[in-house]
Amino acid sequence: MSVCILGAGGWGTALSAMLGLHGRGSVLWARRPDLAGELLRERENRAYLPGVRMPDTVQVTSDLERATAGHDWALLTVPSVGIPELLSALPRTLGVVLCAKGLAPDGDRLSVLATRMGFARVAVLSGPNHAEEIGLGLPAATVVASTEDAGTDAALGESVQAALMTPTLRVYTSSDLVGVELGGVLKNVIALAAGLIDGLELGDNAKAAIITRGLLEMGRYLASQGAEEGTVYGLSGLGDLVATAGSRHSRNRAAGEAIARGQEAGQGGKVVEGVRTAGLLSAWAEAHGQDLPIVRAVARVVAGEWTPQQSVAALMGRQAREE
Ligand SMILES: NC(=O)c1ccc[n+]([C@@H]2O[C@H](COP(=O)([O-])OP(=O)(O)OC[C@H]3O[C@@H](n4cnc5c(N)ncnc54)[C@H](O)[C@@H]3O)[C@@H](O)[C@H]2O)c1
Ligand SMILES: O=P(O)(O)OC[C@H](O)CO
């Protein structure tokens, strides 16, 4: 069985390479014909995932119709900003597995957007999964969530689980689409905050505090959106927060560190989802009278309204309270 992967950045490339390591086939769609040509020639994605070989079982194309032909569902591995455009070009009968850890332009979940656009079979894939490690075949676990609610299809999750489960990737299913999807979205913002602490050299205690209080904030937001209570403590929540906030691979953590050091937040053209997410979530919290102080602090820093030091002072100066 060949897996259709739409998006040839780090994540799409890693999944195709991982499947190839285990003798499984895939077709990888790159939006830019020049990138598709380079991947076919070099068998390595030097811009987005250097050092990972793409086995011959990976087919590459920049033709979307050719990529999806004969496939019942596809993994969508482009950044969240590219999801609306990609969805609009896909047949509504295709099952779509959303892998981006970001929000739609209006702040909605990407799965809500997909359902609104007429897709009846929607799932999300999320977990502590750095492309740099998955692509090399290092062991990892992830979650695919789908549900019968809102017209989506629970069976899609099981198909994805069967297709992606290999000796190096353990895939769990979940019926909590909201919780799994939002865990990956929120953890990027908290990882950015952890990076600010790294860049300011504030120490391990501060980092532990931001991760722990950040997890609480994640749980608060997930609950407000109807997620199940335990999901934030699973792979897509706590698991991904741990993997990201302490990682040398994380672009979100590294962006926070760079900002605190007065450097450019950009990561060589690679997507840093937390920057846009922080603004969207902070605006939501303000509009709904919700308390998301770490999200707000990160949003203000990335918008240039606060210095990193001001964000620390704001968080430390909050009113005394019970844990
Ligand atoms: N890199 C990881 O370890 C990892 C792991 C899990 C999930 N994710 C998520 O997957 C998504 C993609 O991340 P990535 O690491 O692959 O990004 P990346 O920065 O490595 O690459 C982005 C790719 O998407 C392409 N692209 C940009 N805009 C596009 C558009 N409008 N339409 C089609 N293609 C477009 C770029 O040309 C590039 O090929 C993000 O939401 C990220 O949070 C990443
Ligand atoms: O590099 P980041 O910060 O986008 O994180 C990558 C993955 O989401 C980790 O699970």
10-residue averages of pLDDT along the chain (323 residues): 96 98 98 98 97 97 98 98 98 97 97 95 97 98 84 83 98 97 98 98 98 98 97 98 97 97 89 97 96 98 98 98 95
Determine contact, residues 119/146, Cβ cutoff 8 Å.
no
Spacing, Cα 183 to ligand 1 middle (Å): 18
pLDDT given for residue 265 in this prediction? 85
Spacing, Cα 144 to ligand 2 middle (Å): 16
pLDDT given for residue 154 in this prediction? 75
Q: Is the ipTM of this complex over 0.95?
A: yes
Spacing, Cα 202 to ligand 1 middle (Å): 31
- Alpha helix ranges (H) inside the chain: 10-21, 33-42, 64-68, 83-88, 110-116, 131-134, 154-164, 177-200, 204-224, 240-245, 251-260, 273-287, 293-302, 308-316
Report, as residue numbers or ranges, the catalytic residues: 187
Pick the residue whose CA is nearest to atom 2 on ligand 2: 250
pLDDT given for residue 269 in this prediction? 85
**For residue 101, which ligand has an atom nearest its CA?**
1
Determine contact, residues 274/172, Cβ cutoff 8 Å.
no
Pocket of ligand 1 (CB under 6 A): 7-12, 31, 48, 77-82, 85-86, 99-102, 129-131, 270-271, 273
Strands (E), 24-109: 25-29, 44-45, 49-53, 58-61, 73-76, 95-98
Side-chain-side CA neighbours of 294 within 13 Å: the count stands at 29
Determine contact, residues 279/300, Cβ cutoff 8 Å.
no
Phi and psi at residue 278, in whole multiples of 5°?
-60, -45
250 lines ligand 2 (CB under 6 A): yes
